[in-house]
Amino acid sequence: MIHRLSHLPIRVKLLMLLTATTAAALLAVSMVYIINDRVVSRAALTNQMQVLSKVTAKNLIAAVAFDDRETANELLESLTQEPAIQLVCIYTTDNELFTAFDAVENHHNVDPARLPQPSQLAEGTHYLNSSLEQVAWIEDETDRLGRLYIQASTESLQARTEKNLLLIAITWTVTLLLSMIASARLERVISSPIVELAEVANHISDCNDYSVRVSKFSDDEIGVLYTSFNKMLAQIESSRDELKAARDHLEDRVHERTQQLTDTNHQLTNEIAERARAQIKLQELQHQLIDTARRAGMADVATGVLHNVGNILNSVNVSAGLLQERLRFSPATSLRRSADLLSTMQNIAVPDQDHRTELLEPEADESIPCEVSALSRLEKLSEYLGAVADKCENDSQEMYGEVDRLLSNIDHIKRIVSSQQSMSKSSGLITEVNVATLFFEAIQLHDSSLSTHGIEVDCDFIEHPTLQSDEHRILQILVNLVSNAKQAVMSSERIPRTIRLGIQHTAENRLQATVKDNGIGIRPSDLDKIFSYGFTTKVDGHGFGLHASALAAYELGGSLQVKSDGVGRGAQFVLDLPYHPSKQDNNA
């Protein structure tokens, strides 16, 4: 751009300079005006919404305090007289919707998708892309009764800005036209002497006549330039002969100097490139060293933790085994035998059933001997001991089942710990794996939690051949996916809470295990980094589970993928595995 301007006539340059100066001044003034008007308009709208929210919140105190929704609706409808207001809501202190009014649709049945999340509302004014949110507390002199949420459009600010821009454009056009007309007249005073000087210089260049001189007609800077130009011509004319003599040797000296500079530049370029490569290599080595040290430290810590966990699990396993052994020889069996023995003794004492019934009648004669009373007590004791024995046996069986499940879970944890401890030494054991069975084991691990929170688990498993793979690593992946799905539906307010598990074939003769939930879902911006190390969307998460699961799936020759339609619309994880691992997978 500057190169092209250098070839333009000086008159055009002066005209462009004056016009550009005027345009720059107009631009600065316009920007100041637009920014100031925007700030003032926004402050006015903010103040208007704050005053409106405070007045409305004060008027709503009685309606919210006495649960008068009709009066609250009338007050909300009155707010829509302000054209900018789009949505008005009232939330109680328990974050429950008290009432709402959609000013755009002019009704109270507001689409839940348009309602804000009450837990994310903060008091004050908040600007979004094309709207403004105002939140104010509804409170009396002592307590807070609820919150008032007002959503207003900022289109009026945009319209005002567009109007100002149109006005500025018209002002620019008129001002630039006037500036160009005035500049066209003024530039001649400056350009005419310079043009004359350029014509003389061209004549000297064409004719090689240094005897020509220019006539000075002013004492300003241009007059000084004329005088200096004439002196320069005299000096050039006197030194022309000297230059002609030195010209013969100048080319050789220039060529020699140019060659020296070229060689020096080439050496400097090579040295700079070599240093850059050395610096890059040094940085790579530093990063590798840091990463190696971090991994080694993590491995040492993990090894120590797994060793301690394994020692504790051994103690827990021994305790659980002792508890199972105690339950197996429960005293309920002896209690049952005692009840049967008492019943047998009663039958021996009075073998006739009808006679025993007569003896045990409440209205029996008082002359009946005390042995009959003892018989009655013996029968009641027998019945009581039988009932207690039944209850003890049922409780013992249930506790025995729970302890058996506990031992199974402890054994699974021990296998996981053992697998992690041997990870650095050898690959996992390849066995025949039934994915449906592993799914049931994963559900069994979370069975009590799923039942407690009312989570339904639907299974859609097709008949499939067994996989040749690492059973424990697949189980770890499935346990992690089921756990994440459980936490997702527990964090959602959708009813019913459902987790769908599926197994199906693919066209590439592979197996896909899917875990789908109707929980809180995943933001689209988080889908690409959901398997990254350390990334998590949970408050108490660490970002290790999905990362480790994805790595495990890759090492097994498969992949782990995620799908979600957005927040509040659930998520689906797909574990894709080959039926037979390749040699490369076995060496991973």
| Measured CA distances, 535 to 477, 530, 538, 541, 547 (Å) | 17, 6, 9, 9, 8
Q: How many CA atoms lie within 13 A of 447 on its CB side?
A: 10
Residue whose structure tokens are 């320069």: 232
Least confident of 14-18, 323-327, 548-552: 323-327
| Burial bucket for residue 7 (CB in 10 Å: 0-12, 13-18, 19+) | exposed
Is the confidence at residue 339, as pLDDT, over 60? Answer: yes
Which whole number is the average pLDDT over 335-359? 61
Q: Both 418 and 498 in a single domain?
A: no
- Residue 127 DSSP SS3: strand
Q: Both 567 and 519 in a single domain?
A: yes
d(CA 88, CA 49): 12
Peptide bond into 496 cis (omega under 30): yes
Specify the pLDDT at position 360: 47
**Highest mean predicted confidence (pLDDT) among 196-200, 254-258, 283-287:** 254-258
Specify the pLDDT at position 296: 59
**CA dihedral (366, 370, 376, 377) positive or negative:** positive
Specify the pLDDT at position 297: 65
Of 135, 163, 160, residue with least CA distance to 149: 135
Residues 6+ apart with CB under 8 A from 417: 306, 309, 310, 313
Least confident of 24-28, 92-96, 423-427, 551-555: 423-427
Inside any domain, residue 459: yes
| CATH number of residue 87's parent domain | 3.30.450.20
**Triad 482, 487, 490: Cα angle to 5°:** 125
Specify the pLDDT at position 7: 67
Where does residue 98 fall: left (phi above 0), alpha (psi -120 to 50 degrees), or beta otherwise?
alpha
Inside any domain, residue 271: no
Residue whose structure tokens are 């590439």: 508
Which whole number is the average pLDDT over 444-468? 85
Q: How many CB atoms lie within 10 A of CB 97?
A: 14
Q: Both 396 and 526 in a single domain?
A: no
Of 468, 475, 480, 471, residue with least CA distance to 548: 480
The secondary structure of 445-505, three-state, reads HCHHHHHHCCEEEEEEECCCCCEEEEHHHHHHHHHHHHHHHHHHHHCCCCCCEEEEEEEEE
Is the confidence at residue 417, as pLDDT, over 70? Answer: no
- Name the DSSP class of 332: H
Helix (H) or strand (E) holding 245: helix 221-328
The confidence band for 327, taking pLDDT boundaries of 50, 70 and 90, is low
The confidence band for 513, taking pLDDT boundaries of 50, 70 and 90, is very high
Specify the pLDDT at position 364: 44
Which whole number is the average pLDDT over 133-150? 88
Inside any domain, residue 200: no
Angle between helices 10-59 and 69-79 (to 10 degrees): 160
| CATH number of residue 461's parent domain | 3.30.565.10
Which whole number is the average pLDDT over 354-365? 48
Q: Both 61 and 150 in a single domain?
A: yes
Which whole number is the average pLDDT over 326-352? 66
Is the confidence at residue 170, as pLDDT, over 80? Answer: yes
Inside any domain, residue 264: no
| Measured CA distances, 325 to 388, 398, 414 (Å) | 21, 14, 21
List alpha helices for 60-130, DSSP H.
Answer: 61-65, 69-79
Specify the pLDDT at position 359: 44
Give the domain extent around 83: 1-177
Residues 6+ apart with CB under 8 A from 410: 313, 316, 317, 320
Least confident of 68-77, 222-231, 545-554: 222-231
Task: Return mean pLDDT, the chain.
Answer: 79
Query: Per the structure block, which two tokens stand in for 478?
Result: 């499935």
Helix (H) or strand (E) holding 90: strand 85-92
Q: Both 404 and 533 in a single domain?
A: no
Which whole number is the average pLDDT over 442-461? 85
Q: Both 394 and 504 in a single domain?
A: no
The confidence band for 500, taking pLDDT boundaries of 50, 70 and 90, is very high
Q: Both 10 and 153 in a single domain?
A: yes
Which whole number is the average pLDDT over 393-418? 75
Specify the pLDDT at position 427: 45
Specify the pLDDT at position 357: 52
Q: Both 135 and 158 in a single domain?
A: yes
* pTM score, whole prediction: 0.36
Domain boundary among 392, 425, 458: 425
Inside any domain, residue 199: no
Q: Both 435 and 415 in a single domain?
A: no
| Burial bucket for residue 112 (CB in 10 Å: 0-12, 13-18, 19+) | exposed
Strand partners, 505: 511
Q: Both 414 and 547 in a single domain?
A: no
Over the stretch 467-479, which tens digit does the pLDDT of each residue have?
888 888 899 899 8
The confidence band for 306, taking pLDDT boundaries of 50, 70 and 90, is low
Inside any domain, residue 377: yes
Is the confidence at residue 445, as pLDDT, over 90? Answer: no
Question: Do 431 and 466 contact (CB within 8 A), yes or no?
Answer: no
Inside any domain, residue 527: yes
High-pLDDT (> 90) share of the chain, %: 8
Question: Do 430 and 470 contact (CB within 8 A), yes or no?
Answer: yes
Query: Per the structure block, which two tokens stand in for 535?
Result: 């990334």
* Dmax (CA) of the chain: 170
The confidence band for 332, taking pLDDT boundaries of 50, 70 and 90, is low
Q: How many CA atoms lie within 13 A of 440 on its CB side?
A: 6
Specify the pLDDT at position 402: 79
Domain boundary among 162, 177, 192: 177
Q: Both 154 and 23 in a single domain?
A: yes
Question: Do 360 and 294 contact (CB within 8 A), yes or no?
Answer: no
Inside any domain, residue 318: no
Is the confidence at residue 362, as pLDDT, over 80? Answer: no
Least confident of 73-77, 218-222, 227-231: 218-222
Specify the pLDDT at position 225: 77
Specify the pLDDT at position 333: 65
Over the stretch 279-295, which tens digit does the pLDDT of each residue have?
998 888 887 677 656 65
Helix (H) or strand (E) holding 517: strand 510-517
Specify the pLDDT at position 478: 92
Specify the pLDDT at position 348: 66
**Which one has a higher pLDDT value, 113 or 372?**
113
- Name the DSSP class of 224: H
Q: Both 412 and 435 in a single domain?
A: no
d(CA 477, CA 419): 14
Helix (H) or strand (E) holding 147: strand 144-153
List alpha helices for 350-465, DSSP H.
Answer: 353-359, 370-421, 435-445, 447-452
Q: Count of domains in the chain?
A: 3
Of 127, 152, 118, 142, residue with least CA distance to 61: 142
Domain boundary among 425, 454, 488: 425
d(CA 521, CA 567): 5
Query: Per the structure block, which two tokens stand in for 336?
Result: 């049952």
Specify the pLDDT at position 573: 94
| Burial bucket for residue 45 (CB in 10 Å: 0-12, 13-18, 19+) | buried
d(CA 549, CA 530): 11
